[in-house]
Amino acid sequence: MTVKILTLRTEAEAILLSGLLDQAGIPHMLKSFHDTAYDGMWQTQTSWGTLWADEENRETITKLYREMSPPGTEYEET
């Protein structure tokens, strides 16, 4: 079952993590918070979007995210 795994802060972070997941063969989907009505203003003030994947891959995904992030980076796991 596909569930929301992480909230991502930036587009660069989303692209990097997506690439790592592709290399690992983990199916996933990125969902941007971009809203054309506000020309993306909401997106830049809060966070970029979310990463969705199968629950069974949660541990691997969060591990990859922690490894790619600078030390001390806090993340929102959902």
What is this structure's pTM?
0.81
**Which pLDDT score, from 0 to 100, does residue 35 have?**
64
Q: Give dist(CA 27, CA 72) in Å, integer.
A: 27
Domains, in order of start, for the chain? 2-70 (3.30.70.1530)
- Go through the chain and tell me how many residues it has: 78
> With bands split at pLDDT 50, 70 and 90, how would you rate the model's confidence at 41?
low
> With bands split at pLDDT 50, 70 and 90, how would you rate the model's confidence at 43?
very low
**Which pLDDT score, from 0 to 100, does residue 36 have?**
59
Task: Say yes or no to pLDDT of 69 above 80.
Answer: yes
Are the beta carbons of 9 and 78 closer than 8 angstroms? no
Task: Say yes or no to pLDDT of 48 above 60.
Answer: yes
Mean pLDDT value across residues 23-45: 75
